[in-house]
């Protein structure tokens, strides 16, 4: 096999670039009239078939006729036609009226009928795309085989490029243009023509889609899209709650998805157990419109459920804007003002060309009538000239010579019927001369003055707005009114009980399974040192013997059964080998205090909020003071009486309210129990954990205090030290 050396750059130029440019310029990217070539060829064919007025015709007829301009195949043409129809609901203002099944833009599986079964005609609004097309408003070119002409653009009287959505994927680039409400677009365009620095957000509130839904508006994001033509926004479905049937009905969905995709994703969530409140989901779309019904449990909160579904399914989706448009055959990404600038310039050229056409036609008519006016003075002379001319070919020259008129005027006079060669007819015809001169002068003034051309554009836009405007289909929700759905919102919350063992195991058991559980399984010689009731969505703070506080989300800890050992904390928290968890506390709002008591008799009261962090830090050093060995650690949600014991059997009952809180986590605290003869604080107990004959004997209102020796009758103790 022989190979030929070729320069890659030259090969790409010769083989790839022509294809790429053909796709970009002639197929995938819309132009300033809001149409791709396939749309334009189809609509122009229907216009030439007389389908702007009259009865509908079979779609197959339209498809066949369109192939004279578009040779890409009948099904490709028909699919283009389907999207433009009233039946498909893809456009805010459909350009084709339809009869029959054309599928739905919001359904993946609802297929359109074959073209032999459906009927179409141009909608009334399509007439605004063709207005004055026969007055030289746009350029025409040959079709692919040179047998007929087709327009390069349609003289759209309104910014169709912004009113109906358009999407295209070319080679190396793409286009995705959202639709806007017609009245808002017209009002914005008029305002922009009158004032360049107009704030478009005052007129274009947000995009508007044929499938409805709600747009979540962030003003800064929308301003960026309007300015640059790039960006994305979120759009979500609308729903209503039917309490009598325990169901949620979704009746509008994002333009970017389908009912089947939504149902499939909801079914998958139920299958995976991520959503437990749904008992059934089904498509109940009928002739009245779209409807997805979700049956829910009686205990479910529909609004909370929908927030989960917005996060996890296409019920909330993003629309990525890429306003890429062909301007003069060159693809350009433009903001709204850039698009309006290009459209206004295009419309000005259309109106000036139409004006020039009208001037030319009226001038020609005026010229002929001025010639006719000359024979009114002597009609008999005209008749004598025609009767006295022996050769037909000399009639026109003789009239020219007899009345000092040119050839066109003489031809016009010569063609007048004999019955019309009377004074009444000629006076009636020539009575238009003055009005024609006035009209031509006015048209010439329009042609010269841009301000008058712009006034015409504004007047036409107001007419379009009044005639075709529709209420917004897509609602607007400000982003600040939307509850941000985080991962935590999707976590199921339920009651659990936690068990901490001396060998560092943590067991998290749901209360529902704990009721039927047997004896707790532990390793040999292991014991439970703390039990705690909590919620699955709570934070868990664990304190170690190395003055470190570890924070974990409880839902990150796997549920277990009484018959299992639970999670080994050294692995979960990545602790040092010699490190040991002493105490744990669960919290939802970080209220309350941690009370650390030390052997030197001091106690530190630290707000639990000191352990709350804005970041997702899981390890906090200097969780408490290490100046003196730790004697006791406990959480108190409110102040209460505690009992302090010293190593020489001194006892002190004090209230935690006399200990001032310290915001510094490793604070040394304040002196509670004074040392005597080298004694140390040995333990702290709750008041209900001890039985004294006379509690007031040990009580103190002021600290520090030495305390009182434990009486013989009070020495029976009920609880073992935790250390």
Pairwise CA distance, residues 49 & 26, whole Å: 24
Q: What are phi and psi of 347, to 5 degrees?
A: -65, -35
Max CA pair span of the chain: 159
Given 117, 144, 494, 697, the catalytic residue: 117
Q: Which of 204, 470, 475, 445 is nearest to 323 (CA)?
A: 204
CA–CA distances in Å: residue 582 to residues 37, 449, 456, 549, 631: 75, 88, 83, 10, 11
Q: Where are the beta strands (DSSP E) in 569-629?
A: 581-587, 593-598, 602-607, 619-620
505: part of which helix (H) or strand (E)? strand 505-510
CB-based contact 95:75 (threshold 8 Å): no
Pairwise CA distance, residues 313 & 262, whole Å: 6
Pairwise CA distance, residues 94 & 661, whole Å: 70
Pairwise CA distance, residues 486 & 713, whole Å: 58
Q: Which residues pair with 675 in a beta bridge?
A: none
What tokens were used for 418? 């004999």
CB-based contact 492:276 (threshold 8 Å): yes
Q: Which of 561, 456, 473 is nearest to 518 (CA)?
A: 561
Task: Please list, in sequence order, all residues whose beta carbon lies within 8 angstroms of the beta carbon of residue 543, skipping any fewer than 6 positions away.
Answer: 549, 550, 581, 582, 583, 584, 594, 623, 624, 633
* C-alpha 172: how far from chain center: 24
CB-based contact 230:275 (threshold 8 Å): no
Pairwise CA distance, residues 672 & 695, whole Å: 18
CA gyration radius, the chain: 43
Task: Please list, in sequence order, all residues whose beta carbon lies within 8 angstroms of the beta carbon of residue 444, skipping any fewer than 6 positions away.
Answer: 359
CB-based contact 684:656 (threshold 8 Å): no
Q: Which of 297, 178, 207 is nearest to 243 (CA)?
A: 297
Pairwise CA distance, residues 323 & 175, whole Å: 6
Let me know if 555 is a catalytic residue.
no
Pairwise CA distance, residues 62 & 52, whole Å: 13
Pairwise CA distance, residues 45 & 657, whole Å: 89
CA–CA distances in Å: residue 440 to residues 106, 362, 431: 52, 7, 15
| Residue 37, CA atoms < 13 Å, CB-side half-sphere | 21
308: part of which helix (H) or strand (E)? helix 302-312
3-state secondary structure of 613: coil
423: part of which helix (H) or strand (E)? helix 423-430
| Residue 217, CA atoms < 13 Å, CB-side half-sphere | 17
Pairwise CA distance, residues 553 & 536, whole Å: 8
Q: Which of 718, 34, 691, 716 is nearest to 342 (CA)?
A: 34
CB-based contact 44:140 (threshold 8 Å): no
Instruction: Quickly tell me which residue has 């149409």 as its tokens.
Output: 35
Which string of b and e fits 53-92 if b means at least 16 CB within 10 Å? eeebbebbbbbebbebbbeeeeeebbebbbbbbbbbbbbb
What tokens were used for 67? 């192939």
Please list the active-site residues: 117
């Amino acid at each position: 096999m022989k190979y030929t050396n070729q320069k890659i750059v030259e090969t790409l130029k010769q083989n790839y670039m022509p294809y790429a440019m053909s796709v970009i310029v002639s197929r995938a990217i819309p132009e300033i009239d809001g149409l791709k070539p396939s749309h334009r060829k189809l609509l122009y064919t229907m216009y030439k078939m007389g389908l702007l007025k009259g009865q509908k015709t079979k779609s197959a007829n339209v498809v066949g006729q369109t192939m004279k301009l578009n040779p890409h195949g009948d099904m490709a043409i028909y699919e283009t036609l389907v999207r433009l129809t009233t039946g498909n609901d893809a456009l805010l203002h459909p350009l084709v009226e339809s009869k029959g099944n054309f599928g739905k833009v919001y359904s993946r599986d609802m297929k359109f009928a074959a073209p032999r079964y459906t009927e179409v005609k141009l909608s009334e609004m399509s007439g605004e795309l063709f207005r004055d097309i026969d007055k030289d408003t746009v350029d025409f070119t040959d079709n692919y085989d040179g047998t007929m002409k087709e327009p390069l653009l349609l003289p759209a009287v309104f910014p169709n490029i912004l009113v109906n959505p358009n999407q295209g994927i070319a080679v190396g680039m793409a286009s995705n243009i959202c639709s806007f409400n017609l009245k808002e677009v017209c009002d914005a365009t008029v305002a922009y023509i009158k004032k360049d620095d107009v704030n478009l957000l005052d007129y274009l509130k947000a995009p508007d889609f044929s499938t409805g839904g709600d747009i979540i508006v962030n003003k800064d994001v929308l301003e960026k899209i309007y300015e640059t033509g790039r960006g994305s926004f979120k759009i979500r479905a609308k729903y209503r709650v039917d309490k009598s049937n325990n169901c949620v009905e979704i009746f509008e969905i994002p333009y970017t998805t389908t009912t089947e995709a939504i149902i499939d994703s909801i079914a998958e969530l139920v299958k995976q157990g991520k959503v437990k409140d749904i008992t059934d989901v089904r498509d109940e779309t009928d002739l009245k419109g779209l409807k997805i019904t979700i049956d829910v449990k009686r205990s479910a909160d529909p609004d909370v459920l929908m927030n989960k579904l917005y996060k996890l399914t296409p019920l909330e989706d993003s629309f990525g804007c890429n306003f890429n448009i062909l301007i003069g055959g060159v693809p350009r990404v433009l903001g709204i003002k850039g698009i309006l600038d290009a459209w206004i310039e295009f419309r000005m050229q259309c109106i000036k060309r139409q004006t020039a056409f009208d001037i030319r036609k009226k001038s020609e008519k005026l010229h002929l009538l001025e010639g006719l006016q000359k024979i009114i003075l002597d009609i008999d002379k005209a008749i004598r000239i025609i009767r006295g001319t022996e050769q037909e070919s000399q009639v026109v020259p003789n009239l020219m010579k007899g009345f000092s008129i040119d050839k066109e005027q003489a031809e016009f006079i010569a063609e007048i019927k004999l019955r019309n060669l009377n004074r009444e007819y000629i006076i009636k015809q020539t009575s238009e001369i003055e009005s024609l001169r006035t009209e031509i002068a006015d048209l010439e003034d329009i042609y010269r003055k841009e301000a008058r051309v712009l006034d015409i554009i504004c007047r036409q836009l107001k007419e379009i707005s009044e005639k075709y405007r529709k209420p917004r289909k897509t609602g607007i929700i400000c982003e600040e009114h939307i509850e941000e759905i985080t991962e935590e919102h999707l976590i199921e919350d339920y009651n659990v009980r936690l068990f901490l063992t001396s060998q560092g195991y943590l067991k998290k058991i749901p209360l529902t399974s704990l009721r039927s559980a047997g004896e707790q399984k532990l390793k040999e010689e292991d014991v439970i040192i703390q039990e705690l009731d909590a919620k699955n969505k709570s934070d868990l703070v664990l304190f170690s013997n190395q003055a470190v506080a570890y924070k974990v989300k409880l839902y990150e800890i796997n549920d277990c059964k009484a018959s299992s050992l639970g999670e080994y904390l050294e692995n979960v928290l990545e602790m040092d080998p010699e490190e040991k968890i002493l105490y744990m506390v669960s919290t939802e709002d970080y209220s309350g205090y941690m009370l650390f008591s030390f052997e030197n008799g001091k106690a530190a009261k630290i707000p639990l909020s000191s352990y709350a962090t804005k970041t997702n830090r899981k390890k906090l050093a200097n969780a408490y003071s290490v100046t003196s060995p730790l004697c006791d650690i406990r959480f108190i949600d409110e102040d209460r009486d505690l009992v302090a014991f010293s190593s020489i059997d001194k006892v002190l009952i004090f209230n935690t309210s006399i200990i001032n809180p310290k915001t510094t986590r490793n604070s040394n605290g304040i002196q509670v129990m004074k040392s005597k003869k080298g004694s140390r604080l040995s333990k702290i107990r709750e008041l209900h954990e001890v039985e004294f004959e006379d509690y007031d004997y040990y009580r103190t209102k002021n600290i520090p205090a030495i305390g009182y020796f434990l009486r013989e009758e009070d020495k029976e103790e009920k609880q073992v030290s935790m250390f």
